[in-house]
């Protein structure tokens, strides 16, 4: 180090930079949004272009209950972060459990919808353009919900084991930002698939 | 201090080569990861360069049958794919990885383990692409390496037209390396925003760091659409989907849109780091601060945004109609405005400067002129009626190679001559550097100046041979002979890299009398970069240190 040019080390006014966890998650969300935009554009472009049935109007039911569950899980995860910030670990675990439950209901509803579509209406990825675009867009979103559920579920397990404390609030916040993103994407997917496309 | 400077035997020296292999494979140090990116890119540069030479041998004379048409198709597909995804991206991310933390006074990237993951996943993508030569024919015996062209238009990629697995290797390798690219871009943004040393405001960041910030932002919104399109292609090929299946109402043009929404900003992802190197190298060898720092930052961000709205100029011949043609002609011309601002600022930096013609500076000056010419043929091609005549011809091939080789590769060479002393502690030989520069310059102009002419005469790209009576023969002969000059020059460069590592003159921490933070630490930098985290008060912290009587901070 003796060969290095020294830089003067002077005290400087308060130096505060953003949290890298939150910046990193924001970047991931931008990248993921771009992926979803392409799938949404493909869905919109192919509405009504299928050469054969079934059509969305014939087979799709609007999933009101699942949607309400998923959107309210955004509120519960927010309260989970709030309670961890004020060091109420048990309360946080309760809110996390509620979030995982609501997200689980959403995934179960999607699974039941797909079962119905495949076995009763014979709609698969191969059937027509609607099948191809529907399963890929809704499936892409559902896979993001599953990833979120895994992260929240792990946090819940850690919380129940007593390994989570107030210092982890920022990390939980990063997960919660992801979860809010997944919910926001659902608003777009819901509008495109079940309102515009039907 | 006295106890610390006592001679201690480096434990690494006492152990065998296995220790070093393990050290490099498991490292999370941004400098080592950066060097692995660069080494990996250089290996692929040589491979893709050999592919180019093979193609030029095939086109050297009319009616040649040096390689078969099938092999030729594989060669241009692999050459393009390799150069863009496994040379361009990794070498630029390699320099970014190495330089960004050093330049902002940080000890590592924001997420070191993600950084290692991103590198290895990208490297695996490159290996997967070349593994297709051994395994691509699969159970079908239907061809080895991918042969669908680097933009793989539908329906050529459909199962019917691409049986076997060659196209799957192409898709998967790009998908996987894309994940790595997004990880690294995320890391660069988080590092730049969250790891700057005290006093390093955004308005004081070196322009290189600014440009890497813009590039990383572009990666999120361009590599992701490509990833989405590759997922769709996989759904088509493996699950029987119909995204790009025209028989079932799907659209082949949609693939073109999705590909070029990635493809054009990708050009800027590759060229902005070249601008970044020029922003650091030109001022140092002009002995002047860069001219118009705020304008340079604004122009970079402007290029980033405008580059997202020009993609369909690759599709003028598809028949999009007058509205889209007019829009994309206009937006393509608009992007030359911020680019022009940059060129004028570099010229203004040179103006009145005390110019030092080192090898790095020679390459940078070559870059300036060649990038201008590439931009001028770009403006010609942006006019859609002109493009209708020359799209898909060798004129187009000459245009984009002028950007990729004449601008980007020249700046990459320049960056090697400039930062090699920092990375290794040794200077590259200026004598060999001079040979490298002049031979490469001659070879470049022989190849790519004359490549425009057969294009104007009507020679289409991607043909594997041509008839003698077309009048293209002499031009192809000149183009191919230039390729050999470039190959020899590149070999001299590689020799210089190797020989100087052992015998080069000792560099010391700051051989160029430069002004950014990476030159304040020893060469090569210690694994922790800075013993004490530096504090900066201007855009040129080392200038302030060396000239305390007249610090930059007084003038900014």
C-beta of residue B156 within 8 angstroms of C-beta of residue B163: no
- pLDDT band of residue B9 (cuts 50, 70, 90) is low
CATH of the domain at A177: 1.20.120.80
- CA A73 to the chain's CA centroid: 11
Q: Which residue has the higher pLDDT, B273 or B3?
A: B273
CA distance B453 to A132: 46
Query: Is there a domain that residue A9 lies in?
Result: no
* Nearest Cα residue in chain A from B109: A20
Distance from CA of B115 to the nearest CA of A (A): 12
**pLDDT score of A10 more than 80:** no
Q: Do A4 and B220 touch (CB under 8 A)?
A: no
pLDDT score for B145: 87
CA distance B446 to B440: 10
Q: A10 contacts in B (CB within 8 Å)? A: 535
- Tell me whether A50 touches chain B (CB under 8 Å): yes
Dump pLDDT digits (tens) for B71-80: 999 999 999 9
Q: Do A23 and B508 touch (CB under 8 A)?
A: no
Distance from CA of B504 to the nearest CA of A (A): 18
Nearest to B423 by CA among B500, B356, B493: B500
Q: B221 contacts in A (CB within 8 Å)? A: 30-31, 34
- Tell me whether A64 touches chain B (CB under 8 Å): no
**pLDDT score of B148 more than 50:** yes
Q: A32 contacts in B (CB within 8 Å)? A: 224
Looking at the partner chain, which of B194, B227, B531 has a beta carbon nearest the beta carbon of A18?
B194
Q: B187 contacts in A (CB within 8 Å)? A: 24
Query: Is there a domain that residue B20 lies in?
Result: no
CA distance B194 to B201: 11
Query: Is there a domain that residue A8 lies in?
Result: no
**pLDDT score of B70 more than 50:** yes
Distance from CA of B507 to the nearest CA of A (A): 11
The total of structural domains in chain A comes to 1
pLDDT score for A11: 53
Q: Do B190 and A24 touch (CB under 8 A)?
A: yes
- pLDDT band of residue B550 (cuts 50, 70, 90) is confident
Q: B235 contacts in A (CB within 8 Å)? A: 125, 132, 136
Q: B231 contacts in A (CB within 8 Å)? A: 35, 136, 140
- pLDDT band of residue B318 (cuts 50, 70, 90) is very high
- Tell me whether A6 touches chain B (CB under 8 Å): yes
Q: Do A7 and B534 touch (CB under 8 A)?
A: yes
Distances from the Cα of A31 to the Cαs of A63, A179, B124, B228, in angstroms? 27, 15, 21, 11
Name the residue range of residue B478's domain.
33-554
Query: Is there a domain that residue A70 lies in?
Result: yes
C-beta of residue B59 within 8 angstroms of C-beta of residue B77: no
Looking at the partner chain, which of B196, B520, B535 has a beta carbon nearest the beta carbon of A10?
B535
Nearest to A179 by CA among A155, A154, A153, A144: A144
DSSP string for B166-233: HHHHHHHHHHHHHHHHHHHHHHHHHHHHH-PPTT--GGGS-HHHHHHHHHHHHHHHHHHHHHHHHHHH
Q: B194 contacts in A (CB within 8 Å)? A: 17-20, 23
pLDDT score for B95: 97
**pLDDT score of B203 more than 50:** yes
Q: What is the mean pLDDT of residues B462-482?
A: 94
Query: Is there a domain that residue A167 lies in?
Result: yes
The one-character DSSP state at A126 is T
Q: Do A7 and B232 touch (CB under 8 A)?
A: no
Q: A24 contacts in B (CB within 8 Å)? A: 110-111, 186-187, 189-190
Distances from the Cα of B549 to the Cαs of B539, B545, B554, in angstroms? 16, 9, 10
Looking at the partner chain, which of B240, B249, B545 has a beta carbon nearest the beta carbon of A49?
B249
- pLDDT band of residue A15 (cuts 50, 70, 90) is confident
List all residues 6 or more positions away from B79 whose beta carbon is below 8 Å from its beta carbon: B48, B51, B52, B55, B150
Q: A137 contacts in B (CB within 8 Å)? A: none
Distance from CA of A32 to the nearest CA of B (A): 7
Dump pLDDT digits (tens) for B233-253: 999 999 999 999 999 999 999
- pLDDT band of residue B1 (cuts 50, 70, 90) is very low
CATH of the domain at B244: 1.20.210.10
- Tell me whether A120 touches chain B (CB under 8 Å): no
Q: What is the mean pLDDT of residues B550-555?
A: 83
C-beta of residue B288 within 8 angstroms of C-beta of residue B352: yes
pTM of the model: 0.93
* Nearest Cα residue in chain A from B223: A31
pLDDT > 70 in chain B, percent: 96
Q: A8 contacts in B (CB within 8 Å)? A: 535, 545
Helices and strands in chain A: count of H runs, count of E runs: 6, 0
Q: What is the mean pLDDT of residues B87-103?
A: 96
pLDDT score for B136: 64
CB pairs under 8 A between A and B: 147
Distance from CA of A3 to the nearest CA of B (A): 6
C-beta of residue B381 within 8 angstroms of C-beta of residue B335: no
Distance from CA of A170 to the nearest CA of B (A): 15
Looking at the partner chain, which of A9, A23, A132 has a beta carbon nearest the beta carbon of B193?
A23
**pLDDT score of B11 more than 60:** no
Q: Do A46 and B250 touch (CB under 8 A)?
A: yes
Q: What is the mean pLDDT of residues A184-188?
A: 97
Distance from CA of A139 to the nearest CA of B (A): 12
Name the residue range of residue A36's domain.
21-196
Q: Do A17 and B193 touch (CB under 8 A)?
A: yes
Looking at the partner chain, which of B5, B217, B545 has a beta carbon nearest the beta carbon of A7?
B545
Nearest to B33 by CA among B187, B221, B211, B173: B187
pLDDT score for B317: 92
* Mutation target vs A (from B114, B194, B223, B547; most A CBs, 10 A cutoff): B194
Q: A140 contacts in B (CB within 8 Å)? A: 231
Q: Do A4 and B509 touch (CB under 8 A)?
A: yes
List all residues 6 or more positions away from B267 whose beta carbon is below 8 Å from its beta carbon: B307, B400, B403
pLDDT > 90 in chain B, percent: 88
Backbone phi, psi, residue B404, to 5°? -70, -40
Write down the H helix ranges in B15-64: 17-25, 30-58
- pLDDT band of residue B16 (cuts 50, 70, 90) is confident
Q: Do B521 and A132 touch (CB under 8 A)?
A: no
Arithmetic mean of pLDDT over chain B: 93
Q: Do B111 and A20 touch (CB under 8 A)?
A: yes
DSSP string for B125-157: HHHHHHHHHHHTTTTTT--SS--S-TT--TTTT
For tokens 């006295």, name the residue. Answer: B2
pLDDT score for B133: 86
- pLDDT band of residue B328 (cuts 50, 70, 90) is very high
For tokens 């013609």, name the residue. Answer: B357
Nearest to B219 by CA among B196, B251, B188: B188
Query: Is there a domain that residue A54 lies in?
Result: yes
pLDDT score for A7: 54
Dump pLDDT digits (tens) for B124-140: 999 999 998 887 665 55
**pLDDT score of A162 more than 50:** yes
Q: B110 contacts in A (CB within 8 Å)? A: 20, 23-24
Query: Is there a domain that residue A6 lies in?
Result: no
- pLDDT band of residue B5 (cuts 50, 70, 90) is very low
Tell me the CB-side half-sphere exposure of residue B305, using CA atoms within 13 A.
8
Contacts of B281-284 spanning 24+ positions with Cβ under 8 A: B281/B360, B281/B361, B281/B364, B281/B414, B281/B415, B281/B418, B282/B346, B282/B349, B282/B350, B282/B361, B282/B364, B283/B349, B283/B515, B284/B418, B284/B512, B284/B513, B284/B514, B284/B515
pLDDT score for A2: 43
Looking at the partner chain, which of A2, A5, A17 has a beta carbon nearest the beta carbon of B545?
A5
Backbone phi, psi, residue B426, to 5°? -125, 150
Q: Mutual orientation of helices B252-286 and B293-306 as an angle, nearest 10°?
A: 170
Nearest to B520 by CA among B512, B510, B511: B510
Nearest to B183 by CA among B245, B116, B126: B116
Arithmetic mean of pLDDT over chain A: 92
Dump pLDDT digits (tens) for B371-382: 999 999 999 999
**pLDDT score of B463 more than 60:** yes
Q: How many other CB atoms are found less than 10 A from the CB of residue B323?
A: 8
Q: What is the mean pLDDT of residues B491-514?
A: 94
Q: Do A2 and B5 touch (CB under 8 A)?
A: yes
- pLDDT band of residue B3 (cuts 50, 70, 90) is very low
- Tell me whether A133 touches chain B (CB under 8 Å): yes
Distance from CA of A94 to the nearest CA of B (A): 31
Q: Do B225 and A23 touch (CB under 8 A)?
A: no
Distance from CA of A188 to the nearest CA of B (A): 17
Looking at the partner chain, which of A10, A31, A125 has a beta carbon nearest the beta carbon of B224?
A31
**pLDDT score of A5 more than 80:** no
Nearest to B61 by CA among B486, B488, B470: B470
The total of structural domains in chain B comes to 1
């Amino acid at each position: 180090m003796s060969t290095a040019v020294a830089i003067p080390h002077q005290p400087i006014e308060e130096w505060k930079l953003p949290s890298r966890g939150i910046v990193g998650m924001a970047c991931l969300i931008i990248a993921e949004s771009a992926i979803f935009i392409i799938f949404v554009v493909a869905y919109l472009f192919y509405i009504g272009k299928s050469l054969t049935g079934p059509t969305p109007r014939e087979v799709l039911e609007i999933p009101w209950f699942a949607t309400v569950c998923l959107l309210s899980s955004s509120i519960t995860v927010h309260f989970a972060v709030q309670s961890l910030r004020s060091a109420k670990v048990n309360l946080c675990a309760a809110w996390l459990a509620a979030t995982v439950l609501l997200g689980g209901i959403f995934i179960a509803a999607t699974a039941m919808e797909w079962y119905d579509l495949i076995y009763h209406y014979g709609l698969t990825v191969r059937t027509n353009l609607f099948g191809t675009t529907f399963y890929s867009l809704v499936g892409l979103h559902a896979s993001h919900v599953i990833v979120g559920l895994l992260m929240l579920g792990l946090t819940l397990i850690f919380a129940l084991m007593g390994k989570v404390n107030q210092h982890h609030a920022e990390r939980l916040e990063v997960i919660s930002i992801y979860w809010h993103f997944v919910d926001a994407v659902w608003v777009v997917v819901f509008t495109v698939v079940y309102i515009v496309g039907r | 201090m006295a106890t610390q400077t006592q001679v201690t035997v480096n434990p690494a020296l006492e152990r065998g080569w296995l220790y070093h292999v393990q050290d490099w494979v498991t490292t999370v140090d941004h400098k080592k990861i950066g060097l692995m990116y660069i080494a990996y890119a250089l290996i692929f540069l040589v491979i893709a360069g050999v592919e180019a030479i093979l193609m030029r041998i095939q086109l050297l004379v009319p009616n040649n049958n040096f390689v078969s048409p099938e092999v030729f198709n594989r060669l241009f597909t692999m050459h393009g794919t390799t150069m863009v995804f496994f040379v361009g991206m990794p070498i630029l991310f390699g320099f970014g990885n190495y330089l960004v933390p050093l330049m902002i006074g940080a000890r590592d990237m924001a997420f070191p383990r993600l950084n290692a993951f991103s590198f290895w996943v990208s490297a695996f993508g490159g290996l997967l692409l070349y593994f297709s030569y051994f395994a691509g024919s699969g159970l079908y015996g239907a061809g080895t390496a991918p042969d669908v062209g680097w933009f793989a238009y539908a329906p050529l990629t459909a199962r019917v037209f691409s049986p076997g697995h060659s196209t799957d290797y192409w898709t998967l390798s790009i998908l996987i390396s894309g994940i790595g690219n997004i990880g690294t871009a995320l890391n660069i943004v988080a590092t730049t925003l969250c790891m700057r040393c005290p006093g390093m405001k955004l308005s004081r960041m070196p322009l290189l760091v600014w440009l890497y910030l813009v590039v990383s932002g572009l990666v999120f919104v361009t590599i992701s659409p490509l990833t989405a399109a590759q997922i769709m292609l996989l759904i088509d090929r493996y699950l029987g989907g119909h995204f790009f299946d025209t028989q079932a109402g799907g659209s082949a043009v949609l693939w073109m849109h999705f590909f070029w929404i990635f493809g054009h900003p990708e050009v800027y992802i590759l060229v902005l780091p070249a601008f970044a190197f020029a922003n650091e190298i030109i001022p140092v060898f002009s002995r002047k601060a860069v001219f118009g720092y705020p304008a340079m930052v604004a122009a970079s961000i402007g290029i980033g945004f405008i580059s997202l709205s020009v993609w369909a100029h690759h599709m003028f011949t598809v028949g999009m109609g007058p509205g889209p043609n007019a829009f994309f002609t206009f937006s393509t011309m608009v992007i030359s405005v911020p680019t022009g601002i940059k060129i004028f600022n570099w010229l203004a930096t040179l103006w009145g400067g005390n110019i030092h013609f080192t090898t790095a500076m020679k390459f940078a000056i070559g870059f300036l002129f060649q990038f201008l010419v590439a931009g001028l043929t770009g403006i010609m091609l942006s006019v859609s009626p002109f493009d209708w005549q020359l799209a898909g011809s060798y004129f187009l091939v000459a245009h984009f190679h002028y950007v990729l080789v004449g601008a980007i590769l020249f700046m990459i060479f320049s960056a090697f001559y400039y930062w090699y002393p920092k990375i290794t502690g040794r200077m590259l030989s200026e004598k060999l550097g001079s040979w490298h520069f002049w031979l490469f310059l001659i070879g470049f102009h022989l190849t790519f100046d004359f490549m425009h002419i057969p294009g104007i005469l009507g020679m289409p790209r991607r043909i594997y041979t041509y008839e003698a009576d077309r009048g293209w023969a002499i031009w192809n002969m000149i183009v191919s002979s230039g390729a050999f000059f470039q190959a020899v020059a590149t070999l001299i460069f590689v020799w210089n890299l190797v020989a100087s590592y052992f015998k080069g003159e000792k560099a010391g921490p700051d051989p160029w009398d430069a002004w950014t933070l990476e030159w304040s630490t020893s060469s090569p930098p210690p694994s922790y970069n800075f013993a004490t985290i530096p504090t900066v008060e201007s855009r040129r912290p080392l200038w302030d240190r060396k000239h305390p009587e007249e610090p930059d901070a007084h003038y900014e």
